[in-house]
Structure 1
Amino acid sequence: MESQHATPVPGAPARCPMHGHDFAADPGRIYDQLRDFGPAAPVELSPGVDATLVTEHDTARRVLQNPTLFARDSRRWAALNEGRIALDNPVLPMMAYRPNCLFTDGTVHLRLRKAVTESLDKLNVSRLARDVEQIADYLISQFSERGRADLLNDYAKLLPLLLFNKLFGCPADIGDRLTTSMAAIFDGEDALRANEELTACLMELIALKRRTAGEDITSWLIAHPAGLNDEELKDQLVMLMGAGVEPERNLIGNTLLLLLSEDSSGRRSGMLIEEAMDDVLWNNPPIANYATHYPLQDVDLDGVEVAAGTPLVISFAAANSDPALTAERETLSKGAHLAWGAGPHACPAKSPAQLIALTAVEKILNTLHDLTLAEDPEKLQWRPGPFHRALVALPVSFSPIPATRFAEPLPQAQEPAATGPVTAEGEPSSPARPQAKKGFWSTFLDLFRV
């Protein structure tokens, strides 16, 4: 049957690119164009990587909630298996298979997800909020005397990175390298080398926690009855950090942007923080397009043909703004959006993620009472990329406050001699690692008891 939808937009390319500045500047306009194709449309995630983007809310739910027809295991990706995707393609780190909750199905997924969710359930909510506040204090103290800051790169970007070091139980050296390598991966800076360093850091951390367990996610995953091996442990930690850090910084940044923006009369929205965060999750979700599925057979999505083994990407942003949903928005619960996903792969960390963002936003607004955007919101730039909705920077100004307003530094602990790792028999197992310049995590550990 001939499709009534799949007629290209006049003058538009056969596949709409989602990797340039045009898409980043105004994705809503692109989603509106793509709707002319039907509930899903042909897109290009990066040069040479074709996909189908689901833009309709009901169709998105249909895909997300039907694992028997739509798999998450990217080893089914036909173009990659046939060598048609370059191994250095920038979207590959976000799409290539890893044995973790994101890319597995069936009983394997259930086993891994159970280990992750039951480890996350051990988090103490009050302690988590205190950790966020302490890290926030530290970060704010780094720029409080200047009277100006970039709330994205000085605050929203660093807070989740430091927090995950704490949640994973990282010692100073591993934490510094983990923070640097994860930031480089997100920023696209020598991703191959950064991924190798990230892997090395996490394997060191796992070995350390197997010897000496602590009250942290790494230790809880190791002790879980699922009996994860080192490779599985590493990939669950990569998944947790990747799925936690990038969305978290964007949720914090996008919420602050909304709260600090003024209308044409110079008035701010007056929203409560929870209301602003819910508005962001509906209208500007931190991860706009992801949850890639691979049809197990050729499927027809209401007139849009999708071949087996081809990437089918869910647009949370487009689904949330689906015109068919507009009339119902007033009657829907505030959590009816798809920003957290749906179905068996829905985000397992929704509650702690919301608590982290809420605490971080609340803390900086309560500390710097006269925060003002230093640039017209319309002129702020958004990072190119098919998956996220992320600001490049969020410049603000405020009345300076002294750094001594924050926690007093503690005496620095003397650094142990750099003897390098040791074997079970106490013998050095490798040459000592040269002492590097202290990073954010080791400096934080020097200043605060965590």
Structure 2
Amino acid sequence: MSLTTPYDPPSPAGWSEAPASTVTAHDHTPVPLYTPEFAADPHWFYAEMRRKFGSLVPVELSPGIAATLVIGYRAAVQINNDPQRFRADPRTWEKNIPADCPVLPMLQYRPNALRSAGQAHERYRKASVDSIDAINLYGIHLEIEQMAIPQINTFCLDGQADLISQYALPVTFAYLNAMVGCPADIGQQVAQGMAMMFEGTEAGEGSALFARALLELVQLKQIKPGEDVTTRLVTHAAELTDEELVHQLVTIYGAGIEPLTNLIANTVLLMLTDDRFSGATASTTRDALNELLFKDPPLANFGITYPAQPSKVEGVWLPPNQPVVTSMSACNNDPAISGVHHGNNSHLAWGTGPHACPAQDVAYSVAHNAIDQLFDALPEIQLAHPADQLIWRPGPFHRSLAKLPVVFPPSRTLF
């Protein structure tokens, strides 16, 4: 099914025709979020979840790892803006989680803003926000041009490319490495570790590789500072330890590599499959990005919190110290909110509340410029296969294509 095809699925056997009203979130069999079937068409599953459960759904993030998925917009805003009841610190939960759990590296405690609460969160958050806010947004256009053109030159003569591995991913890597002042060799280790963690395959090994690479970066910046985010973290008044510095970078890379790559690729897919984004009266890249962030955000399910005690939301009791995961994708498509996307930034793609993404302006600008550079260089680009033949990578958190194969008239290299 393409991104633009409306869906109205039949109700399969075993699914209720109406959502439950006042129930316990785990009265029913949990829905697995890690299967290829879910990855292939998550919106079908979200619609069926809504029919059966309402706003709060019992799910499994990996086999045997229970969680509650929030698919109602208002419930998500309520939960994510109530850090007293819904804390981001997972340490009580993870005490009983096996070390080889494939999603543990994505959820486990780290001394950073994403996985902490109270004064610790405020300290880490300020260091990260101050370091990111110093980025010159007006310079991103030139930076992306200097990264995108050499990358396009590697395939423009071929007449075909995979825009994930040959464009979105390397451009994202190049920008993030420049942003944090990371040499290419260390950055490649970071990328490999992050991919292993997001996919849940060899996640423990990926987490260790990730941490080692970032410690190497921190130690490099302590000796050779620069004009970059890592140096600003190293010299920040918060006086972060080496371990804390590593884990602030974990957040930056974790929120950057996979989600930003997917934001670029998925928006390109939308523009290639929707007639509104072609022709003389085409909508703009900005329109496509805004719509994509609403309809199919690249980080589909995240914003994870842990109730400190049994908590009731919309008539549902949530178990204490069990993950509550916000489905930004399902919440954005909640029928209870408006479906108007043009010029509307009320989506939850960047999160909401005290743990919302602090680098959303940077990410948006990088994606916007990367997409514009691609279509400026190759305006006749088309999908190599029908959209419904594309494969989506399994995983409970991301909305990620395995490949985005395209064709175009071979073009001369750019300068």
Question: Given the two structures, how large is their TM-score scaled by the length of structure 1?
Answer: 0.83
Contact 2:33/2:396 (<8 A) preserved: yes
2:167 alignment partner AA: Y
Q: Which residue of structure 1 lines up, in the alignment, with residue 5 of structure 2? A: none
Q: Do structure 1's residue 98 and structure 2's residue 113 form an aligned pair?
A: no
Q: State the 1:124 CA deviation.
A: 1.3
Q: Which moved more, 1:224-233 or 1:151-160?
A: 151-160
How do 1:161-176 and structure 2 match up within 5 A? 161-176=173-188
Q: Do structure 1's residue 44 and structure 2's residue 56 form an aligned pair?
A: no
- 1:402/1:219 Cα in 2 relative to 1: closer, same or farther (>3 Å)? same
Contact 1:65/1:343 (<8 A) preserved: yes
Q: Of 7, 25, 38, which aligns to 1:23?
A: 38
Partners of 1:196 and 1:119 lie apart in 2 by: 25
How do 1:14-163 and structure 2 match up within 5 A? 14-35=29-50, 36-77=52-93, 80-82=94-96, 85-163=97-175
Point out the structure with max Rg over C-alpha.
Answer: 1
Q: Of 267, 272, 282, which aligns to 1:270?
A: 282
* Unmatched 5+ stretches in structure 2: 1-19
Partners of 2:357 and 2:392 lie apart in 1 by: 24
Partners of 1:268 and 1:181 lie apart in 2 by: 43
- 1:381/1:171 Cα in 2 relative to 1: closer, same or farther (>3 Å)? closer
- 1:186/1:143 Cα in 2 relative to 1: closer, same or farther (>3 Å)? farther
Secondary structure at the counterpart of residue 306 of structure 2: strand
Q: State the 1:13 CA deviation.
A: 6.8
- 1:375/1:355 Cα in 2 relative to 1: closer, same or farther (>3 Å)? same
- 1:307/1:181 Cα in 2 relative to 1: closer, same or farther (>3 Å)? closer
Secondary structure at the counterpart of residue 335 of structure 1: coil
Contact 1:258/1:276 (<8 A) preserved: yes
- 1:333/1:140 Cα in 2 relative to 1: closer, same or farther (>3 Å)? closer
Q: State the 1:323 CA deviation.
A: 1.2
Aligned length: 394
How do 1:182-261 and structure 2 match up within 5 A? 182-188=194-200, 190-261=202-273
1:319 alignment partner AA: C
Partners of 1:7 and 1:231 lie apart in 2 by: 39
How do 1:386-397 and structure 2 match up within 5 A? 386-397=396-407
* Unmatched 5+ stretches in structure 1: 407-450
Residues 83-116 of structure 1, C-alpha deviation per residue, up to 9 Å, x if partnerless? xx33222211111111111101111111111111
Contact 1:181/1:195 (<8 A) preserved: yes
Partners of 2:139 and 2:188 lie apart in 1 by: 22
Partners of 1:358 and 1:13 lie apart in 2 by: 42
How do 1:292-331 and structure 2 match up within 5 A? 292-325=304-337, 328-330=338-340
1:351 alignment partner AA: D
Residues 137-165 of structure 1, C-alpha deviation per residue, up to 9 Å, x if partnerless? 12111111111001112111222112111
Q: State the 1:269 CA deviation.
A: 9.2
- 1:111/1:269 Cα in 2 relative to 1: closer, same or farther (>3 Å)? farther
Q: Which moved more, 1:196-205 or 1:234-243?
A: 196-205
- 1:376/1:5 Cα in 2 relative to 1: closer, same or farther (>3 Å)? farther
Residues 281-336 of structure 1, C-alpha deviation per residue, up to 9 Å, x if partnerless? 110011111111111110122222111111111111111111111xx334996101
% identical aligned pairs: 41
How well do the aligned residues superpose, as a CA RMSD in angstroms?
2.4
1:58 alignment partner AA: R
Question: Given the two structures, how large is their TM-score scaled by the length of structure 2?
Answer: 0.89
Partners of 1:334 and 1:29 lie apart in 2 by: 24
Q: Do structure 1's residue 337 and structure 2's residue 347 form an aligned pair?
A: yes
Contact 2:262/2:399 (<8 A) preserved: yes
Contact 1:39/1:301 (<8 A) preserved: no
Secondary structure at the counterpart of residue 334 of structure 1: coil
Q: Which residue of structure 1 lines up, in the alignment, with residue 17 of structure 2? A: none
Secondary structure at the counterpart of residue 57 of structure 2: strand
Q: State the 1:52 CA deviation.
A: 0.7
